[in-house]
Structure 1
Amino acid sequence: MKLYYLCGNYENYINSNTLNDMIKSSMKYAIRVSALSMLMFGSIGISAQQVHTAEWADGVERALVYRPGDYGSKFYRIPAIVTAKDGSLVTVADKRIEHNGDLPAKIDVVSRRSTDGGRTWSEYVTVAAHDETGGCGDPALVVDQKSGDILAIFSHGNGLWQETPAHISVARSKDNGLTWGPMLDINPQILTTDPSGKQPIKCTSAFASSGRATQLDNGRIMFPLVVREKENPCFKVYAIYSDDCGKTWMVSKNPATADGDESKIVQLADGSLIMSIRNRFGSLRKFSYSHDRGETWSDPVPVEGLPDPRCNGDIIRYNRDGHDLLLQSLPGDPNGRNNVAIYVSKDGGKTWPVKKTVVTIPSAYSSMTILPDGSIGILTEESANGHYSYDIWYTRMPIEVILAGDKK
C-alpha cells in the first residue's frame, strides 16, 4: 500500500511499514485504498492527525488544500471551487486570520489553483484583503463561459448581525485565477437601508451565499443573497442577477423564501431554476422554483430524501456522457455536521435515491465542480479532531463511483 501526503507543494512517499511505526497502537485505523489516498500530518514534525477510512474505488484521489496555520492564518473556512476555461481548478476560501468567527472579523479571501486535476496546488494568492472597512469573506465563484472571466462574489465589512449591511462585492480574474482585479461594491445597485425605499432590497444586513454562483444558458449570472430585516428573526433570500457579465446587477421581484439561509441555484434541462435553500429550522432541504430565469420564485417546499442539518452545500447539474443528473452535497448525518455526502437525482430533483459518502468524520461546508474528464471535484471542510477547526480537502471522484452509491 502506498500512501502520499502533501507538504506545501511537495509530494512525499512513505510505505505502509513506516506508517505503522508512526501511528502505532494509538491510531487503529483500517485503510483500504486502491488509488491515491491522502494523509494529513501535523505542522510540527510528522505526527499523523487524520486517516480517512472509507473504502475508495479506483480513481478517487484526495489532497489537502487549506490547512490551519498555513499562510499566516489560524483558520480556514468557506470553500468554493470552479473549473476554469483552460481546465484548471480554481478555489477560494476564507483566511480567518485571528479566530474562527465570521465577519466583521479580520478575514481575507484567498485562492489556490491546480493544473493537474487537483493532485498539486499553487501557492496562495489573495483575492480580497481586509482593510479599515472590515474583512472579506463568504466567497462564491462562477465562470463566464463566453469570456472565461471568473467572478468571485463575497461580503466586505460587516457581518449578518451588524446594523448596517456588508458591501456585497465582486472581484474578477481574466487569467483563469492567476491574478485578481480590484473589488467592486455592488450595494448601490441592489441594497438600500432607507425604510421608505422600494427595490432594491430594504434590509438591515445581508451577505452573499458562498460556494457556487450560477450562469444560465443565456449568459445570465446569478447568486442568492441572504438578507436580515430589523425586528424580523427570519432571513429572506433573493436572487441577484447580471446580464452583462457582472457589470450591472438586478434583484428578483420576490424572495425565494421568507425564512432561509445560504442557498444555491441550478438550471434544469427545461430552463427552469431550482433554488436549494438551507433550512434554518426544519430537517429537510427546501426548494423554490423559477420559470422566468430567476425574476420570480415560488413558495419553497421541503424535499424528501435531502436531509439538511442546517448547513451549506452545492447543487450542480451533470449533463454529459448520456447522464442528466442533479448532484447535491450536504452533510450525510441529518442530526449534525458529519459525513459530507453527494446525493444524486435522476429526475430533475423530484427524488434523490443515491447517496455517496465522501468522508466519515465531522465535516461541514462543501463545494463541487465538474472536471474536464467528467469526474467530480469536491472541496470539504473536515475536522480531524471533532473541533470547530477545519482542514479543507479536495476529493476527485469519478461519476461512476458516485452513481454506485454507498454499500448497503
Structure 2
Amino acid sequence: MLRTLLIFGFTLAVSTGRAQDISQVVYRSGDCGYACFRIPAIVRAADGTLLAFAEARRDGTADKGDIDLVLRRSADGGRTWGELVVVWDDADNTCGNPAPVVLHDTGRIVLLATWNRGEDHERDIERGRTADTRRVFVLASDDCGRTWSEPREITSEVKRAGWTWYATGPCHAIVKSRAPHKGRILVPANHKFVAPDGSVASHSHLIYSDDRGETWRLGAVSQPGGNESSVAELSDGSVMLNMRHYDRQDSLRLCAVSRDGGHTWSETWEETQLVEPRCQGSLLNYAPAGERSSRTLLFSNPRSLRRENLSLGVSRDDGRTWSRFVTIWPGRAAYSDLVRLADGSIGVLYENGDPGGKEELYKRITFGTVSPEELFD
C-alpha cells in the first residue's frame, strides 16, 4: 500500500512497508580493519555472480585519506557474500568512485575509477590548490571479478585542461544495445573547475569507448548544475543521463537525453518528479529476459529532503513520467546502485544506517531485492 506525503511543496509517493525479499548486510563499519564503507556499485557477471564494489575507508567517513577500492562476490543471488577482495590499494592515497560494466559478448568486466593523494581535500582539489589532482584509471577482469589487471591511467583521454575535481559514477556503467553506436561503453562522470568569477562550477559528462575499453574519449558535457550521475539507454537507442543537482537548493534532479550515442545533448530539464536531498542516485533500464533495453526505467535514491527513505521509482515511458515509488529502507540512507537479477528481481545495493551523525548514517552497505510483482502489479 502506498501513501503520499506533502513536504515543502513536493508530493511524495511512499510505500508503507518494506519491499525487500532478501536483505543482507554486505559491508559493515569496522569490518577488516576499515572504519567505514561507502560508495556502492554493483553488476552481475557473465556467470551470474554479483559483484558489490565499495570504497573501504581506513580512518573514518571522510572522502579523503587512505581509501581502498574493494568488492565482495555472491554466487547465490545476494543471499550470501564472499570474503572482501581489495581491487586497488595505493598506500595512503584515495582509490574510489567505482563505475563497473560487463561486456556481454566476452564477459570481461571493465572498471573505471579515480585516484588522488590521500592528504588532499576535495575543496582544495576543485580550486587547483594541490600538488596533484584527480586522475582517471581503468581496470579489467576476465574471470568474473576474481582477479584484476593493474590500474591503467586514461586521464589525458577524458579530462580537459582546467578541470580540477573529477569523478566516475559512482554506479554501474552501460553498453549500448541499439544504434546509434551499438556496443559503445558509456560511463557517467562529473567534474568541476574554477569559473571566471572565482566560483566553482560543476558539470556532469559522459566518457565512452568503442573498442571494449582499450581507448577512451570524452562525450557530452551537461549544462551547469550537474554532479554525480547515472546513465541508461532508452527504447529507441537514445541515452538518458540522470544527475544530482549541484546548484539548486530545492532538491530536484537534472536529466538530459542524447540521440547521437552520447556526443551531444538534445534536451536537458529539471525533473520535478524525482525529489532528492542533493545525493547520488542510480538509473537502470529494466528489460525483459533476453533483451537489453525497454521503455521501463527504474531509479533509486533517498526520496526525501534529507538522506532517508531509500526508494525505487518506476517509469513505463522512457523516464517521462514516474508512476510508482516503493520504499526500500525507510530510515537513514544515501548512495545506491541497481542491478537486474537472473530471475527478474531487482537488486539494490545501498548505504543505510541509524539516526545520528555521519558515523551512524554510513554504518553499513546493504543488498536487498525487490520482486517484479512488487513494482509492476
Is TM > 0.5 for Structure 1 vs Structure 2? Answer: yes
The residue aligned with 2:298 is: 327
Question: Is residue 362–residue 383 contact of structure 1 (8 Å, CA) maintained in 2?
Answer: yes
Deviations along 1:182-207, one digit per CA (max 9) or x if unpaired, are: 111111212243xxxxxxxx412312
Q: Deviations over 1:29-70 (max 9, x none)?
A: xxxxxxxxxxxxxxxxxxxxxxxx97446x701101000000
Q: What is the Cα-based RMSD across aligned positions, in Å?
A: 1.9
Shift of 1:214: 1.5
Cα distance in 2 for residues equivalent to 1:264 and 1:315: 6
1:115-152 per-residue CA deviation (whole Å, 9 max, x = no partner) reads 001010000001111236x2101111111111111122
Q: Provide the rounded CA distance (Å) in 2 between the counterparts of 1:140 and 1:54.
A: 32
TM-score by length of 2: 0.86
Cα separation, 2, equivalents of 1:272 and 1:113 = 32
Distance 2:108 2:280 in 1: 25
1:140 aligns with 2:99: yes
Match 2:57 to one of 96, 99, 111 = 96
For the 8 Å contact 2:239–2:257, the answer to whether it is kept is yes
State the partner residue of 1:234. Answer: 201
CA distance, structure 2, for counterparts of residue 77 and residue 62 of structure 1: 18
Cα distance in 2 for partners of 1:205, 1:304 equals 27
> Is the CA contact 1:94–1:108 (under 8 Å) kept in the aligned structure 2?
yes
Q: TM-score by structure 1 length?
A: 0.79
Contact 1:160/1:206, CA 8 A, preserved across alignment: no
Aligned twin of 2:10: none
User: Once the two structures are superposed, what CA deviation does each residue of 1:72-99 show, in whole Å capped at 9, x if it has no partner?
Assistant: 1000000001111111101100000012
- List gaps (5 residues or longer) in structure 2: 1-14
Q: Which residue of 2 aligns with 1:308?
A: 276
**Aligned residue pairs: how many?**
339
Q: Give SS of 2:374's match.
A: helix
What runs of 5+ residues in structure 1 fail to find an aligned partner?
1-52, 194-201
Higher relative strand content: 2
1:359 counterpart = 2:329: yes
Cα deviations by residue, 1:296-350 (Å, 9 ceiling, x for unpaired): 11352011321121111110111116974100001121x1110100000011111
Give the structure, 1 or 2, with the largest relative contact order (CA under 8 Å, sep 6 or more): 2
Matched with 1:76 is 37
Kept in 2: contact 1:305–1:353 (CA 8 A): no
- Residue aligned with 1:246, SS: coil
Map 1:124-203 → 2, pairs under 5 A: 124-131=84-91, 134-158=93-117, 160-161=122-123, 162=125, 163=128, 164-193=132-161, 202-203=162-163
Instruction: Report the alpha carbon displacement of residue 384 of structure 1 after superposing the two structures with TM.
Output: 2.4
Please report how far the alpha carbon of residue 395 of structure 1 lies from its aligned counterpart in structure 2 after TM superposition: 0.2
* Cα distance in 1 for residues equivalent to 2:142 and 2:284: 24
Decide whether the 8 Å contact of 2:280 with 2:335 is kept in 1. Answer: yes
Task: Look up the SS of the partner of 1:189 in the other structure.
Answer: helix
Q: Establish whether residue 225 from structure 1 lines up as the match of residue 195 from structure 2.
A: no
* Matches of 2:53 and 2:148, distance apart in 1: 12
Name the aligned partner's letter for residue 82 of structure 1: V
CA distance in 2, matches of 1:300, 1:234: 17
SS at structure 2 position matched to 1:339: strand
Tell me the distance in 2 between the aligned counterparts of 1:355 and 1:386.
26
Matches within 5 A, 1:376-387: 376-387=346-357
Residue among 252, 258, 266 paired with 1:298: 266
- Distance, in Å, in 2 between the alignment partners of 1:385 and 1:214 is 34
Larger radius of gyration: 1
The yes-or-no answer on 1:340 pairing with 2:307 is: no
Q: Is residue 245 of structure 1 aligned with residue 204 of structure 2?
A: no
